[in-house]
Amino acid sequence: MKATAQDLVRAINHLPRNQTYHYVSDKTRTQLLIHGVDLPEGPIYIKRFDPSKGETPDAAKVETISSKMIWRIANALIPGNPINLDRVLGGSYNTRSALEALLAHTPQFYTCKPGRIEIVASSKDVKPGHKHLVWQPNNPHEEGVIKKIDTEIIISEVPSVELVYDSLTLPDANREINIEAQRRHAQMQIALIMIGQQLGFRIWIAQNDKGIIYKQKRLGEMAGVIPSIRDERLLTAYGDAAEAAAYIDCIWFRNTRFMPAVIEIEHTTGITSGLNRMLTFKNALPPIQTRWVVVAPDEDRAKVVEEANLPQFRDMRPQYFPYSAVEELCSLCQRRNLKGVNDEFLDCFMEDCISN
């Protein structure tokens, strides 16, 4: 089960507005009031005040819980797994404890203190844990109250792994599109190349992006990237297929008979345009087993699902590959020499957009 920012915002929006809310920590005297909620993904507007200091809601300033922060928490949620918001957010955002408090008052969240494994040299010990939230969507409690649960769960806090991109050069940058958006699009292509390399795929990169320079090398010169789509044996029997594929962001090929995924990255253009490019390519081929994949920012999930369900695209059964999942898989490929992995492994990181 996957949580979204829309789910969290909807749950908080359902909390009574005429009620003040306490923080998860019993030592915190500050209280919260929900001032407003922007549906579907936030931001959420709050007021914070400390009655012990004579402060009142009327005099408190309005503060914001951003959509980005909400998405970061949503992406970290796994049913039954405790999460520490400070750890997930890396200590950023000064309203993180307020978000934690509001979520704790919604029916699907409980608070707990799992044990924490502490390792010093070769010695291992279990210490009392810090406060965590645990998402239990199938076991809701009463709304508007904080419910604590006892747990025998023990957490080993593995350091978070970040995916590091080297500098890159965009030789034909479009001045009409934000340069950082173009850079992010290129970073996703680089991540897809590195995933393809690790999984033993041959990789097609859009013709107009082959000149992007990464680590002093053009993308078209990177290991595993094929120089010409017209030479790909799987497509040679179908005259229009190579032309239709030329500007698709990334295609993975395996052996001479399989095409694990056709991928469009939607950061600088509309989602519909990418789906249309894939549809044109699909129509130039006979029925073939592959994944038609949209890579897009995590916060664009609802938009991707909506566009993928338009009548003309439903037969492709598009899959959504969020940026966070692309980078999670790429980081895994960099850290581990994956072996014996089949194409179905990819489905662990992608979400079906079409409901049966």
Residues 88-101: tens digit of each pLDDT: 887 778 899 999 99
What is the rounded average pLDDT for all residues in the chain?
Answer: 89
Residue 281, both tokens: 């390519």
Q: How many whole angstroms separate alpha carbon 356 and alpha carbon 340?
A: 31
Beta bridge partners of 64: 45
Separation CA 270–CA 265 (nearest Å): 10
Write down the domain spans for the chain. 5-155, 168-352
Q: Which is more confidently placed, 163 or 49? A: 49
What's the pLDDT at 157? 67
Q: Residues near 320 by Cβ (< 8 Å), separated by ≥ 6?
A: 293, 294, 296, 301, 304, 305, 308, 350, 351, 352, 353
Instruction: Tell me the average pLDDT across 307-319.
Output: 94
pLDDT at 121: 58
* Between 257 and 142, residue with greater pLDDT: 142
- Least reliable range by pLDDT among 58-62, 107-111, 270-274: 270-274
As a residue count, the chain comes to 356
- DSSP secondary structure letter of residue 148: B
Of 153, 159, 190, 185, nearest to 172 (Cα)? 185
- Asked if 260 contacts 254 with a C-beta cutoff of 8 angstroms, the reply is yes
Instruction: List, in order, residues 6 or more apart from 198 with CB less than 8 Å away.
Output: 333, 334, 337, 338
Q: Rounded mean pLDDT of 142-168?
A: 81
pLDDT value for 108: 97
Q: Which long-range contacts (CB under 8 A, 24 or more apart) does 169-178 make?
A: 169/212, 169/213, 169/214, 170/212, 171/211, 171/212, 171/213, 172/208, 172/211, 174/268, 177/268, 178/268
Q: Is the pLDDT of residue 335 over 60?
A: yes
Q: What distance in Å separates the CA atoms of residue 279 and residue 312, rounded to the nearest whole number?
A: 8
Predicted model pTM: 0.73
Q: What does the pLDDT look like over 175-222, one tens digit per residue? A: 555 777 888 889 999 999 999 999 999 999 999 999 999 988 899 999
Query: How are beta strands 115-120 and 123-127 bridged, if at all?
Result: antiparallel
pLDDT digits (tens, 9 = 90+) for 95-139: 999 999 999 999 999 999 988 877 665 566 777 778 999 999 999
Element (H, E) at 338: none
CA 90 from centre of chain:
16
Tell the residue number behind the tokens 């992006």, with chain if given: 209
Q: Give the whole-angstrom CA distance, residue 104 versus residue 83.
A: 12
